[in-house]
Amino acid sequence: MGWRARGLPKWWKGRAPVGHDVLPLPVFGFVGPSGAGKTALLEELLSLWRQGGWRVGAIKHIHHPRKDEGPGVDSFRLEAAGAAAVCVAEEEPWDEALRKLLAREQLDWVVVEGYHGAPLLQFLVLNRGENLPEERQRARGWILGAVLREKGDPRLFPPSLPIYSANEAEALAKAIEAMAAPKPSPFPVAGCILAGGRSRRMGRDKRVLRQAGTTWLAIAAKALAGAVEGPLFAAGTPPEEDPHPELTWLPDLRPGEGPLAALYGLALRLTSPWLLVVPTDMPFLTKEALYPFLEILPLGEREGVDAFLPKLKDGWQPMPGLYRREALLRALSLLAGGERSLHSWRIRQKVWALPEETWRKQGIDPEKVFMDVDDEVTRQQRLP
């Protein structure tokens, strides 16, 4: 059932700081300067979620002695707006406040106002764009977007950072709901394509390049469709000239942030226990080349494996790969710390290496089917 939590799970009690492991349910932070409108924004969001039938908890971090409860107090405002439970935290760490909240209520997800240093999924709430550099420096989470009360200078914002205006609470509420409450899937393995489309080295959209009369994106989709059941998912936005309606497109949470961010974004919005992931720059990929991942899965599950990856003569290959969803969710602390490489995630997990012989004994040349073509020179040299 994905993230959905009912009370405080026994396995979570007494664990290390939860930002360095899988949280028991989704938690979203809202940070920004005093007076930027964080509480007002949360009032709108909580009201919308209550109308949708969701039980959302709220944690409010304060830096001054707590006032008596009443209509003008922030905690009262959050509960009146629709929070199923509110915890006002003064000196205790954010994860302790979360424990207290979950120990007494059954919730679908939690929002946190304040706690710049928490390694969470965070949104910046700003008066105007000029606040951005300072607030990004203070925040220690993975920033998913900024909410502006006033129109800011677009040059202040990186292209990968989604921007919401103060009157777009409904759009923000839906975006968060999609991450917090993804639809349950009956399929144990979700077929996924990393299809962002950007390629600085290639100089053009790799997805629409052609091999043997078909696009590279279509080759990846055909290989996945022959290996897994259920819908296929693509991380990114569809190419205009060939949108591939047979794929379910999940826009990158932070476009251009690399494969680790893309994989985390997929894991956050899907519920299948495993993700079989392929890129779009392997024009010789086939369904037969993906079968070994699925054949070894039952044994690996019993061993507690986090990922199955090819290990060829040149070393580890991150794709194609079979990833445990729960293990990908552990990437949050890395992303919050500015890490973007899949290698940094892999060395912290239990990974099952599939050697070249896995494919060669089936008459498949792994060096060919897993050949990634990521620049124009390579394309001209290796492809007919």
The CATH number of the domain holding residue 304 is: 3.90.550.10
Answer whether residue 3 is part of any domain: no
Task: Give yes or no: residues 121 and 98 share one domain.
Answer: yes
State the residue range of the domain holding 257: 189-382
Answer whether residue 1 is part of any domain: no
Total Cβ atoms within 10 A of residue 88:
19
**pLDDT confidence of residue 240:** 85
**pLDDT confidence of residue 154:** 65
Task: Give yes or no: residues 231 and 366 share one domain.
Answer: yes
Domain count, the chain: 2
Q: CA–CA separation, 255 vs 261, rounded Å?
A: 9
**pLDDT confidence of residue 382:** 52
Answer whether residue 4 is part of any domain: no
**pLDDT tens digits in sequence order for the chain, 384 residues long:** 233 333 333 333 333 334 435 678 999 999 998 888 999 999 999 999 999 999 999 999 986 655 555 555 778 899 999 999 999 998 889 999 999 999 988 999 999 999 988 989 999 998 876 667 777 778 888 999 989 887 666 677 777 788 898 889 999 999 999 999 999 999 999 999 999 755 555 567 888 888 888 999 999 999 999 999 999 999 999 998 888 899 999 999 988 889 999 999 999 999 999 999 999 999 999 999 999 999 999 999 999 999 999 999 989 999 999 999 999 999 998 998 889 899 999 999 999 999 999 999 999 999 999 987 764 435 444 555
Task: Give yes or no: residues 228 and 351 share one domain.
Answer: yes
Q: CA–CA separation, 205 vs 241, rounded Å?
A: 11
Task: Give yes or no: residues 137 and 205 share one domain.
Answer: no
Last residue of a domain, one of 137, 155, 180: 180
Tell me which amino acid residue 71 is. P
Last residue of a domain, one of 119, 146, 180: 180
Task: Give yes or no: residues 147 and 197 share one domain.
Answer: no
Task: Give yes or no: residues 31 and 162 share one domain.
Answer: yes
Answer whether residue 354 is part of any domain: yes
First-to-last CA distance in the chain?
46
Last residue of a domain, one of 155, 180, 205: 180
Task: Give yes or no: residues 196 and 70 share one domain.
Answer: no
pTM: 0.87
**pLDDT confidence of residue 312:** 94
